Amino acid sequence: MKFVDKRVITMAVYVLGNLLNYMDRFSLAGVLDDIQIYYSINDSRAGLIQTVFTVSYMMFAPLFGYLGDRYSRRTLIAISLFIGSLAHLSGSFMTEFWSFVATRVVFGIGAAGFITIAPTIISDIYAKDMRSRMLALFCFAIPVGSGLGYIVGSEAASVGQDWRWALRVTPTLGLICLICVLFTLDPIRGKSEGGAKIERTSWGEDIKYLLHNPTYVLTTCGVTCVNFIAGSLTWWGAKYIILGQKLQGALEDQENASFVFGVIAMLAGIFGVLLGVTLSQKLRTRFPRSDPLICGIGLLISAPLILAGLLVADTYTNLCFVLIFFGQVFLNMNWSIATDIKLYVVVPTRRSTASALQIFTGKALGDAISPYLIGLISDTMKPVIQPKFEESLKLNPLPIGQNSSLLLNTEVNFLSLQYASYVAIVVQVLGGFFFVAASLFLLQDKSKVDLALAESGEEDEERLKLTVPVQREMSDLSNVSPVSVEGEALNVPT
């Protein structure tokens, strides 16, 4: 099979794997209310489900980064897919809360292996603008998979009349993807850029190199902020909108809220990633620093849109959906660009480690803590908010027939979650400034990588120049008589 055919197969398999990975992560978010009722848990423990997954994910990412720079990446990805699919399916059979949490920990191990290593393989089979396009295709799976996770999770639970069916759809596809991985490429590291002979260094030297790379450090800080807002929005967004609908009395719309939120997340992801990569391709040649600026400006535009969506959720649901859609479009602009930046400011032999360290940091301070932190702040705010509404209801009692305690509970839950979500908006704005700061160092860090690749290519050419004459001379010597060879040997200077 031709190399180009294997490249297509490799891309198709990894896009499918990434899609399934994110579907598995957020299929629970579409049935979060049902999970809370089944296990009798509050908001903070509901957020803990996602947090323990993310902690596991970030803890194992450095291990897979180390292994991915040194051993067969294809084998590591196959193992990761097997672990993730098995753990996700196992969660549907757990009747005790902490056993269920344990399956999410194991699922995080599988997710860490795939996400850490797959982009580095893509970077080694494509180069330059084509690599950016392929990374954009790979990153489409992040928002699309997240949105499909909501849809498939909620619909599967509805059809099966049990929330646990949300965990039983994707594992079969994951195992099919695992088999397909065996037919994908595992190219030499740096092959696409002519840097296949760059010397491999120790893990400690790799970390030191990355920490002294300001573009990488600032971009990682920006990605961490993106993870924070994305993690909190995807985990709590549907529930927040449902609470807003309850306050409006729109009972007939609540069943569709998770579905609509999932469709919005999916479409916003498609348009956002496409917009980001298009702007990057158009502006990069004229404005070399444009990539991090696109990410930063996108975040700064997204923040007020999402904030406005939060503020109108209890009065205008459709307007809320529109604002959240556009907010997510600008938020999703950065996914493929940030991945591309990480790859072109780091030399090929350190890219798996770079991915792992960025995942570790982005998760540890991003979506590992944001779902739990938002839930914890929400639970903390409830005792503060509740007395004010109780006093208000005493002064302005509801008409006969309306359940005051139900309204009070809904109003308190809605406002406490709203106030907690403001923290995520602040972090998002901070992320925008991190990306803008990264643009100041981009050119110098990229030029260092280009120089290392060029020097590696020159070394290869020198080896070729030295090797070819020697081979030619050996061939000539094999065609002469022993006497001549011996005679020539006597004339060789000592």
Q: What is the 3-state secondary structure (H, E, C) of 413-462?
A: HHHHHHHHHHHHHHHHHHHHHHHHHHCCCHHHHHHHHHHHHHHHHHHHHH
CA distance linking residue 17 with residue 141, whole number of Å: 9
Which pLDDT score is estimated for 319? 94
pLDDT score, position 427: 95
Is residue 329 exposed (0-12), middle (13-18) or buried (19+ Cβ within 10 Å)? Answer: buried
Which pTM value belongs to this model? 0.71
- Our CA dihedral for 290, 292, 297, 298, rounded to 10 degrees, sits at 110
Nearest CA to 339 out of 276, 433, 389 is that of 276
pLDDT of residue 304: 96
Q: What is the pLDDT of residue 464?
A: 39
What integer pLDDT is reported at residue 324 of this predicted model? Answer: 94
Low-confidence ranges of the chain (pLDDT < 50): 1-4, 195, 400-401, 458-474, 477-478, 480-494
Task: Return the amino acid letter for 449.
Answer: V
Contacts with 434 (C-beta within 8 Å, 6 or more apart), sequence order? 218, 219, 221, 222, 225, 296
How far is it, in rounded angstroms, from Cα 186 to Cα 72? 7
Report the pLDDT value the prediction gives residue 197, as an integer from 0 to 100: 54
